[in-house]
Amino acid sequence: MSLDPQWVRAHFPSVQSSETLFLDNPGGTQVTQSVMDAFNEYFLTANANHGGAFPTSIRSDELIHHARVAFADFLNAARPEEIAFGPNMTTLTFLVSRALGRWLNAGDEIIVTRLDHDANVAPWVALEERGVVIKRVDINTDDCTLDMSDFEKHLSNKTRVVAVGLASNAVGSVNPVRAIADLAHMAGAFVYADAVAYAPHFPIDVQALNVDFLACSAYKFYGPHLGILYGKYEHLERLQAYKVRPAENVPPHKFETGTQSFESIAGAAAAVNYLASVGEKFGAAYGDDYAQFQGRRLRLKTAMRATQAYEKNLFIRLMNGLRELPNIRIYGITDYARFDYRAPTAAFNLDGQHPRDVAAKLGKQNINVWDGNYYALSLMERLDLEASGGAVRIGLAQYNTAEEIDLVLSALQKIAST
């Protein structure tokens, strides 16, 4: 056994109160009641700016510190000061790319990939204005995985940054980031990892991955719209951040430009604590000793193991049904034996039907799916799909059920047959 979807769904008011099938999860998940409560509690008891000498400001700062500790547990950072918050992953990545750009010279090289969301491509390409050379790692088009031989070909003693995703937000492919980090560090390069599409489905251990920076988004794992940045403390300390002069010049504060959305940070911490409760509830399924669950980090790790197992079974059900549809083209890994190396996200097209039309027909039946390029622009161009509207995308989350999978497959069967 893994998760009990009914226990999970009871935590999500919008899922309970709506007849909508939320299969648009890679673009953003629904939020728990505890996240909503955290917003309310913040506004009622701690609504103040940072650094004041009065009770509400002190309470607000305490909540933000507790949120850093929560995300240090979520990512297994060495210390909470390695966690910075921002409006979204894209903004944080631009902030780090500009800061690292101060250390780069004309002719230095940055490696990006054709598999990534553009949020981990465009901020690095922008450094071409400094004379930096951008190298793009190709993919294997048959299964939409990263071409590691091409990566090694591009790596050189001129490489200064490698920007890579843990998982593709479009086709779900999981990259061998630890191996990439080891090779990059041997070349003397920094590694910036995008974990936005990975964090909702798998445990993350930044120390085991040995990446220098990692970014993710709370709204992809049941929290509010908020970006989270991890950086090794020694890097955050050395980097010169773009900031206003009165702002603190120590990590992580120097990377948190302007007044933060403190209520969102409180809500994001509540999302982490919800996931910890999942680990506590379903840890016995793995035979774990409940004494371990004294620590939030262990509860979170177990929660994500349970999530991975549950979503994998759902995804197999989805892929079985998709394969039976007439005139379908599925992108990404389809071999069940390799499903541990992909997120539960399916991209596909039906011959003769525009992706937007398919998504709209499903939308009329209260089935939410995405279409287009989902900002994975380089991938859609490489697959020759951008000019024809990209692809349809279905992505799973903890609160989805087998019954919902059957409903969307039934709807797609009718659409494919027309």
Note the pLDDT tens digit of each residue in 200-225: 999 999 999 999 999 999 999 999 99
In DSSP terms, 137 is beta-bridged to 113
3-class state of residue 306 by DSSP: helix
Please report the beta strands in 318-415, taking only residues with DSSP state E, as ranges in sequence order: 328-331, 345-350, 367-368, 370-372, 391-395
Q: Where are the domains of the chain?
A: 5-32+295-416, 35-271
Please give the structure tokens belonging to residue 80. Answer: 């909470």
Task: Write the CB contacts of 204 (distance below 8 Å, at least 6 apart in sequence).
Answer: 74, 75, 76, 166, 195, 198, 214, 216, 304
User: Are 73 and 79 in contact, with CB atoms under 8 Å apart?
Assistant: no
Average pLDDT, the chain: 96
The gap between the terminal CA atoms of the chain, to the nearest Å, is 39
CA distance 203 to 238: 29
Q: Convert the pLDDT of each residue in 6-30 to its tens digit.
A: 999 999 999 999 999 999 999 999 9
Q: Would you state the pLDDT for residue 418? A: 86
CA distance 212 to 20: 40
Q: Convert the pLDDT of each residue in 308-339 to its tens digit.
A: 999 999 999 999 999 999 999 999 999 999 99
CA distance 277 to 390: 38
Q: Of the CATH numbers 3.40.640.10, 3.40.50.970, 2.120.10.30, 3.40.50.1010, which one belongs to the domain with range 35-271?
A: 3.40.640.10
The answer, yes or no, to whether residue 287 has pLDDT greater than 60, is no
Q: How many Cβ atoms from other residues are within 10 Å of residue 206's Cβ?
A: 22
Radius of gyration of the chain (CA): 21
Q: Would you state the pLDDT for residue 291? A: 46
Q: Would you state the pLDDT for residue 84? A: 98
Tokens 């506004």 — which residue? 43
Q: Convert the pLDDT of each residue in 75-118 to its tens digit.
A: 999 999 999 999 999 999 999 999 999 999 999 999 999 999 99
User: Are 302 and 282 in contact, with CB atoms under 8 Å apart?
Assistant: yes
> What is the rounded average pLDDT of the residues 33-50?
98
Looking only at the bridges linking them, the beta strands covering 21-22 and 367-368 are: parallel
Q: Classify domain 5-32+295-416 at the CATH topology level.
A: Aspartate Aminotransferase, domain 1 (3.90.1150)
pTM (2 decimals)?
0.97
Q: Would you state the pLDDT for residue 20? A: 98
Question: Can you say how many angstroms the Cα of residue 111 is from the centroid of all Cα atoms in its chain?
Answer: 20
Q: Name the residue with higher pLDDT: 303 or 290.
A: 303
Q: How far is CA 229 from CA 84, 118, 184, in A?
A: 5, 17, 20
Q: Would you state the pLDDT for residue 284? A: 64
Give alpha helix (H) positions in 33-80.
33-45, 55-75
Please give the structure tokens belonging to residue 344. Answer: 């539960």
CA distance 370 to 347: 9
Q: Would you state the pLDDT for residue 282? A: 84
Please give the structure tokens belonging to residue 138. Answer: 């190709």
Q: Would you state the pLDDT for residue 243? A: 94
Q: Convert the pLDDT of each residue in 149-185 to its tens digit.
A: 999 999 999 999 999 999 999 999 999 999 999 999 9
The answer, yes or no, to whether residue 293 has pLDDT greater than 90, is no
CA distance 395 to 410: 17
Model confidence at 285, in pLDDT bands (50, 70, 90)?
low
